[in-house]
Structure 1
């Protein structure tokens, strides 16, 4: 069984972050491990809080997961501080991790940054060059590319081109937040754009990006190509959104088990 380590934030409701990653790994039949960078809490009583973990804590978690295991992939999510990003860079280089999936969790749905500015700079300049694939949504693509608006497929392509120049092998800009009839993602390898589209599902679902990138990590760890891994992840997340779970007074959460009983959603692929 392939082994994948997620280095990301903790989301107590279970729909995003480390919790979503581990559920996805289990469903896609890879062995999941985890190291928490920060604990993120959101409640009506307490509001939003971020409790960063110390570098010492992160190091201890990663060593616990990796010392006795040859990792097939690392998947990163929210990395709060500059020193945390540098540590992940060092681990990736020193352990010669063959597949690195970077989900740049840096902003909320409202556009507020949830990591240190220095961490974003370090991620762009030091971690992205090591990435097999980076998976920003449109607000994250704006932050990374410097574009003021990424609100169309053409702008997604432009952002993917800029982000690719930082050094990752592949970039996929996720279009789930646009308002078109289809949910279109743009995959770019430095030469060709591949558009993957599914029917848009009206929803306010939390955790889709984490789950999507975790699914890519799982499939890549098995030795599948980037395109096939992305396509499988697109099918998986679309089904999980379609059968999302609602909570009282909260947005929906991903149903990570939906694929067990549902047919694969159709993904329309276009090369440009």
Structure 2
């Protein structure tokens, strides 16, 4: 009997009980993009398409054990990191990823809600930038997050490019500033640590259901890095997948609903 090998990818993020974002979106995305998804859960949330009701962070020792258990048995080729809101958990992730020499780390710095509300404390932001950013292959902030991280007012494409370059220079990792918060386009810009700039044109999809877009994009990038694509190639593949998921026009829930992660099979 022939054996099949899939590239394993680890998602480190919070759980979304409604299935559209977080770990659930990560694992669906990884399956759809041809890799084997694994998880280390940073928090339990009670949420749906209308909002988050409650959050309970994972104990640091349990998070460390989850990461160690995965690396000790099925070492991931790539790692996606999503929302982590406590300094203790950020420290655990940084320590364990360093100990295991993790590669192809994609970090989605979930800091600012779509509403503009701040999601993590200043202490946690400091830990994120000092401990996790230097381990990342690429970070994927949206415009409000890039603005918060750089202190720059981002109003156009030039502002996005300046912010991406500043982040790449400051933290030594590539930075993909996502233009989804612009009303006129969905173009993203990548600044690599050597100063190389790449723009990715995106199709703006008229769909109010965008729950989990950031989680989905970062997981898809990690998946395609695991498949051996270059960083710009992985971003192109991930954007094409996300566009398809939005174009499927899934409509669930009473708020901003999830996308169809399995659109390719409909």
TM-score clears 0.5: yes
Which piece of structure 1 moves more, 89-98 or 108-117?
A: 108-117
Residue 153 in structure 1 maps to residue 157 in structure 2: yes
Q: Name the SS for the 1:247 alignment partner.
A: coil
Q: For the residues of structure 2 that align with 1:109 and 1:69, how far apart are their CA atoms?
A: 35
Residue of 17, 25, 33 corresponding to 1:20: 25
The alignment covers a number of residue pairs equal to 259
Offset of residue 201 of structure 1: 1.1
TM-score by length of 2: 0.92
Matched, 1:37 2:42: yes
Kindly indicate whether the alpha-carbon contact (under 8 Å) linking 2:17 and 2:48 is maintained by their aligned counterparts in 1.
no
Find 1:185's aligned residue among 182, 185, 188: 188
Alpha-carbon deviations, 1:149-198, whole Å to 9, x = none? Answer: 32321111111112112324311111011011x31001111422211112
Deviation at 1:257, TM superposition (A): 1.1
Tell me the residue number matched to 2:137.
Answer: 132
Q: Is there any run of 5+ residues in structure 2 with no aligned partner, and where?
A: 1-5
Mapping 1:49-198, distance limit 5 Å: 49-147=54-152, 149-180=153-184, 182-189=185-192, 190-198=194-202
Contact 1:138 1:156 in 2 (8 A): yes
For residues 201 and 170 of structure 2, the distance between their equivalents in structure 1, rounded to whole angstroms, comes to 26
For residues 35-84 of structure 1, what are the alpha-carbon distances to aligned partners after superposition, in whole Å with 9 as ceiling and x for unaligned?
11112223599963221111122122222322212221111000121111
Q: CA RMSD in A?
A: 1.8
Output the CA distance in 1 between the equivalents of 2:49 and 2:80. 31
Kindly indicate whether residue 237 of structure 2 is the aligned counterpart of residue 253 of structure 1.
Answer: no
Matches within 5 A, 1:203-214: 203-204=207-208, 205-214=210-219
Where does structure 1 lack aligned partners over 5 or more consecutive residues?
A: 262-272
* Cα gap change, 1:179 to 1:194, in 2 (>3 Å): same
- For residues 46 and 222 of structure 1, do their structure 2 counterparts lie closer, same or farther at Cα, with a shift above 3 Å needed? closer
- Bigger fraction of residues in strand: 1
1:228-239, aligned counterparts within 5 Å?
228-239=233-244
**Could you tell me how far 1:29 is from its partner in structure 2?**
1.3
State the partner residue of 1:269.
none
> Partner of 1:264 in structure 2?
none
SS of the counterpart of 2:202? strand
Equivalent pair of 1:7/1:18 in contact (CA under 8 Å): yes
For residue 118 of structure 2, give the secondary structure of its aligned residue in structure 1.
coil
- Residue 102 of structure 1 and its aligned partner are, at CA, apart by 0.5
Instruction: For CA contacts below 8 A with separation 6 or more, give which structure has more relative contact order.
Output: 2
